Amino acid sequence: MSRIDQRFASLKAAGRTGLIPFVTAGDPSPDAVVALMHALVEGGADLIELGVPFSDPMADGPVIQHASERAIAKGVGLGDVLRWVGEFRRRDADTPVVLMGYLNPVEIHGYEAFAAEAAAAGVDGVLLVDCPLEESAVLEPLRAAGLKTIRLAAPTTAPARMAQLCEVAEGFLYYVSFAGITGAGRLSTRDIASRVADIRSRARAPVAVGFGVRDAQSAKEIAAFADAVVIGSALVERLDGAGTADEAVARAKDFLAPIRAALDAH
C-alpha cells in the first residue's frame, strides 16, 4: 500500500478529515523549503502538495502565479524540488508528498528520468493540471515507478467524464470547488456538498476538495462532506514576504493550527 493510501486509510479509521496544504517550492525562499515542509507536518498536515514553479501557470490565480515567479527568479527548477523532497525524507518517512504542476517541466526533464528520480527522492504522487485524461498515456512511466497520478474534477465536469475520472482515480481525486483559478471567488459549500457526496459514492479513491478554502471556518464546512481539505492560496499569501526560514516556519504553523483544530473538532 502506498503512503497516500496508508494515510487516507488511517484518517478514515480515526474518523478524521485530512489536511493538505499547498506551498510553492522555493517561495518565500529556497533555503526555507525543507524546514517549511516539516513545519507543515508539525502544524497538522496529513499530506503535502508541493508546487513546481512554472512560467505559465494557467490554472493558478495571482497569488500562486507570483509565488512561481519569485521562485523562478531565484533559479528554482524541477531538480531543486526533487532534491528538497529527498532532504525532507531524511526526517519524515511517513508524510505523503504530491508534486503539483504542469506537463512542460516533466516533458523537458524526460518522463522516464523524472519518474525514476521522483520515486527515488520520495515523491508519492503527481498532479499535472494540464494533462487531460485523453493524453494520460504519457504518464505511464510515472505509474510504472509507483507514483500516483492525481486527477482533477470540477463543477463543469460532464457526467460521462466524471464517471471516467471516478473509475481511474488513484491516491485521491481532487475536486475543484468552483470553476476558475486558484484563490479566486467565494466558496459556497451548499453548491458543492451534494456533488461531492455523489462523487465519493462512486470514486475508487478518497475525494479532497480545494480552491476557495481560506480559513478554519471554510475548511470546517468542507470537512462535513469531503475526505480531505486542500488549502493553498491563503497559505502562500501568508508566507509571502517572510524574511527568514524561521519566520516562514512560524507563519505556517500559526496559519495551520486553527485549521487543524477546526477539522479535529468536526
How many Å separate Cα 172 from the centre of its chain?
10
Q: Which of 27, 60, 80, 227 is catalytic?
A: 60
Q: Where are the beta strands (DSSP E) in the chain?
A: 18-24, 48-51, 97-101, 125-128, 148-149, 151-153, 173-176, 207-210, 228-231
Cell numbers given for 241? 514576504
Strand ranges across the sheet with 151-153:
148-149, 125-128, 97-101, 48-51, 18-24, 228-231, 207-210, 173-176, 151-153
Q: Any catalytic annotation for residue 42?
A: no
Environment class of 126 (CB within 10 Å of its CB; exposed 0-12, middle 13-18, buried 19+): buried
Catalytic residue, from 49, 117, 221, 227: name it.
Answer: 49
**Annotated catalytic residue 49:** yes
Catalytic positions, please?
49, 60
